[in-house]
Structure 1
Amino acid sequence: MNIVIVEDNNDLLDDLLFGLEHAGFNARGVSSATALDDLVGGGAFTPDLLILDIGLPGEDGHSIACRMRADQTALGIIMLTARSDTREKLKALDGGADHYLVKPVSIDELVAVIRALGRRIPAADEPSEQWQLKCRQYGVIAPSGEQMELTALEMTLMRALAEQQGGPVSRRSIVSAMGHEWLDYDQRRLDTLISRLRRRWREKSGFRLPLETERGEGYRFSAPVVLIA
């Protein structure tokens, strides 16, 4: 899912981007309506979901939500603001927002709301056909034709996920497949591997790799995939 966060607090924006990327979302951040229009206006990035602060420089979150909702009826909109007044909440919901969250909010709660909302949002950037994993040549190919070479560790990871055909694979199983002892392995290395793979694919293709984090379980590859010898 493509997400744009519009937030003028840089520290909070960085925290939100880190949390959403770690949860498997393709997130971008901007600090104003003008920056948002620059990001999405040329078609280089099409959001499925907006996370909007209300008190922004220039155009406020209420106005952004109204005009973006008018342009994209299927767009998900979450207001994330310090304003807890009921009138503000009603104004936001009447203006097109799907959810209204009051700061501070935990990243787990935000991710849960996004995933619940995502069940009704048709993702703009995710192909629905079959992916291919080229085992001998160490490569992955999207249904739309984009492809990327994989390192040996990335190949081992992708193969472990592909063999489960959408089912979750535990972190322990992945570590074992890579030839390491679970108790001796620094799990931050796996997190780094996952993050780097997601980033490389996004930079290569322009859209998100459907490699999802299953909180408390591990990871899964959410799209159909076939293994090619």
Structure 2
Amino acid sequence: MAAGFIHLFQEVEVAAMQPLQAELLRKGLGLRLYAGIEALCAAVENAAASPEPQVVVLVGESGVCCQAAHALRAAAPAASIMTLLPSTTEGSLVQCLGSSIDTCWPQCAPVELIVSALLRLVGRAGSTEQPPQGVWRLTSRAWVVQAPGGIEVELTAAERAIMLTLYHAPGRRASHARLVEAIEGIESDGGCSAGYAGAAARRLSVLVSRLRRKFIAAGTGTPIRSVRRVGYEIGVEFANQAVAVAPVVNVSAPGP
């Protein structure tokens, strides 16, 4: 079995990428090329249950790579993403890192360095396969998630809203729209904006991705799973506890 799988999307045909492709295959990494973002996202989402670590490489201008990254985060929040840019200016790097892209490299970088960075991403992705078995808990009024073994992960207000919404949802599964509503409820003084805009969906995917990475960095694995065309669910056993039914809402202090 290959040590990992690389999904490679190229905005345009880049002949300079051929040595990279050959080196990836030589290292025993599976490799698949894509001509469109939609096909890339569908393949990465379908591969989420694979035992092989999956890493995405986006080759092109920063704007196109960021567009692809936003779509990937909505389809597969835990995907590991590298970009190879024609030039790594300060502006392009800020744009890419703001799109939750893991690492950015210039296309002219030595193949050995790019492959070394990819192997590190593959190794990190491979460590996310299974969360520890046992009962998880929400503590400190749901501001902390405690994994089996006692490891604790502190939550931000938005992350707490996500965890509480999933915890109290039927079957511990919630739709994208319901989660967006919960986040907006604590970020806009309790008011929710009308509709389910694309910007709100991208905001949710970025928040979930960061939350999952926070669990992974703590060594717990991720308790949150994506549900295709639905939303997200808790994929581990949580203790039934008396925790807050709704996230804390930010409200203005009353006047005198």
Q: TM-score of the superposition, structure 2-length normalised?
A: 0.46
Per-residue CA deviations over 1:154-199 (Å, capped at 9, x if unaligned) read 1111011112365420121122233223427641322222122122
- What code does the residue aligned with 2:204 have? L
* Closer, same or farther: CA 108–184 of 1 in aligned 2, 3 Å: closer
2:142–2:160 CA contact under 8 A, matched in 1: no
CA shift in 2, pair 1:183/1:224, >3 Å: same
Match of 2:46 among 85, 107, 112: 112
SS for the counterpart of 1:106 is helix
| Contact 2:129–2:221, Cα closer than 8 Å, also in 1 | no
Map of 1:14-93 to 2, 5 A cutoff?
Answer: 55-56=22-23, 60-61=26-27, 64=28, 79-81=30-32
Q: Which runs of 4+ in 1 moved over 4 A?
A: 3-7
Q: 1:157 to 1:109 in 2, by over 3 A?
A: same
Amino acid at match of 2:225: E
- Once the 2 structures are TM-superposed, how far is the Cα of residue 224 of structure 1 from its aligned partner? 1.1
1:35-65 deviation line (CA, Å, top 9, x unaligned)? xxxxxxxxxxxxxxxxxx97216x814xx47
Q: Contact (CA 8 Å) 1:213, 1:219: kept in 2 or not?
A: yes
- Name the CA shift for 1:107/1:207 in 2 (closer, same or farther; >3 Å): farther
Letter in 1 for 2:149: S
Aligned-pair CA distance for 1:207: 4.3
Q: For the Cα contact (< 8 Å) 2:174–2:231, is it kept in 1? A: yes
Q: Which runs of 5+ in 1 are unaligned?
A: 16-52, 66-78, 83-102
Aligned with 1:55: secondary structure? helix
2:16 maps to none
Instruction: Please identify, of 162-171 and 142-151, the stretch whose mean Cα deviation from structure 2 is larger.
Output: 162-171
1:131 positional shift: 0.9
Query: Would the aligned equivalents of 2:137 and 2:147 in 1 still touch at CA under 8 Å?
Result: yes
Determine the C-alpha separation between the residues in 1 that align with 2:171 and 2:225. Answer: 10
Summarize the alignment of residues 94-173 of structure 1 with structure 2, pairs less than 5 Å apart: 106-115=40-49, 117-118=50-51, 125-134=130-139, 136=141, 138-164=143-169, 166-173=171-178
1:208 alignment partner in structure 2: 221
Partner of 2:235: 222
Match of 2:182 in 1: 177
Cα pair distance change 1:171/1:144, threshold 3 Å: same
**For the structure 1 residues 171 and 148, does the alpha-carbon distance in structure 2 shift closer, same or farther, using more than 3 Å as the test?**
same
Partner of 2:119: none
Residues in 1 aligned to 2:181 and 2:9: alpha-carbon distance in whole angstroms: 36
Sequence identity of aligned pairs in percent?
Answer: 25
CA separation of 1:112 and 1:6: change in aligned 2, threshold 3 A? closer
RMSD of Structure 2 on Structure 1 (CA) = 3.9
How high is the TM-score relative to the length of structure 1?
0.51
